[in-house]
Amino acid sequence: MSHSEHLASVMVEQLIKAVDNGIDVVPVLADSTSTAKIGPFIARFPDRIVNVGIAEQAMVGTAVGLSIGGKVAVTCNAAPFLISRANEQVKIDVCYNNCNVKLFGLNAGASYGPLASTHHSIDDIAVLRGFGNIQIFAPSSPEECRQIIDYALSYVGPVYIRLDGKALPALHDADYRFVPGQIDVLRHGGDVALVAMGSTVHEAVDAAQQLDEQGISAAVINLSSIRPCDTHQLLALLRESKQVITLEEHNINGGIGSLVAEVLAEAGCAIALVRLGIGDGEYAIAADRASMRAHHGFDAAGVVRTALRVCRGV
């Protein structure tokens, strides 16, 4: 198995590299030094850190002020508190004013596991898809994360990057190049397309390998670029399969399951779709990640069961 890395550590590595390369980056924290694993950045650039304390609204407002002053402002804190507590500031101050702020949603999804709903971020994509001009990314591997961050720091405008709290192994070859909006196909297959984002892409890869052993050809589509998204390319890829299953550590409403449903419906495409994630009217259970995913049916075993049902009626 390849070496795994925490995406927060990758974030810090890329922020240090950016400053070394002359980008005027200023991270803003909400007393989130541990969550952000920001220690190496502070050691190198102690005068570039702004810590506002446990005050997420002030964090986002400060980042906006820094961006207006010409800095590349980045916020680094836990996704559930960023999206829930600073919702209005993200919507109006960052997005409506089109400020050059990069929002890192750390420990997204149900990364905090047993800490339950107060610490789960299973609605962040749904919320931010409602803000029309913010770009939204959910990297699935360390290398993809590096390239997404490099792009985000060079792009002028609002960006949200959803970072899982789990250490993730590599998924891509050395020649992989992230292109905003482009759909990342990890595996082609004609029976069922598995569409996932973030760490659930690894569940999809494992499921596809198990399905292959049972004679079912499964495509794996990594939907890391949620906005922008080349929906024409996505539709063409979905049409290569007879069935589509989406999986995400997010509520099935408003996330990539909804995005795929919209693409299929607007094209009048009759391919059957099953959305796996946190169900309608549900919250993620308080449990370790493996147990939570198994309970809600979007671990690799759950994906295999669903694929067997939709492909063979088993």
**pLDDT block averages, 10 residues each, the chain of length 314:** 86 98 97 93 96 96 98 97 96 97 97 95 97 97 97 98 95 94 97 98 98 97 98 98 98 98 97 97 96 98 98 83
Cα 283–chain centre separation: 18
- Closest by CA position to 63, among listed 40, 98, 94: 94
* Amino acid at residue number 312: R
pLDDT the model gives residue 10: 97
Rounded Cα distance between 247 and 200, Å, is: 7
Predicted TM-score (pTM) of the model is 0.96
Q: Name the pairing type of β-strands 184-187 and 218-222.
A: antiparallel
| Sign for the pseudo-dihedral over CA of 19, 97, 225, 274 | positive
The residues facing 274 across adjacent strands are 245
Rounded Cα distance between 152 and 166, Å, is: 22
* Residue 300 CB contacts under 8 Å (≥ 6 apart), including other chains: 203, 204, 206, 207, 210
CB 277 within 8 A of CB 245: no
CB 295 within 8 A of CB 268: no
pLDDT the model gives residue 174: 86
CA atoms within a 13 Å half-sphere pointing along the CA-CB vector of 31: 7
Dihedral of the alpha carbons of 113, 118, 120, 126, in degrees to the nearest 10? 170
Cα 311–chain centre separation: 28
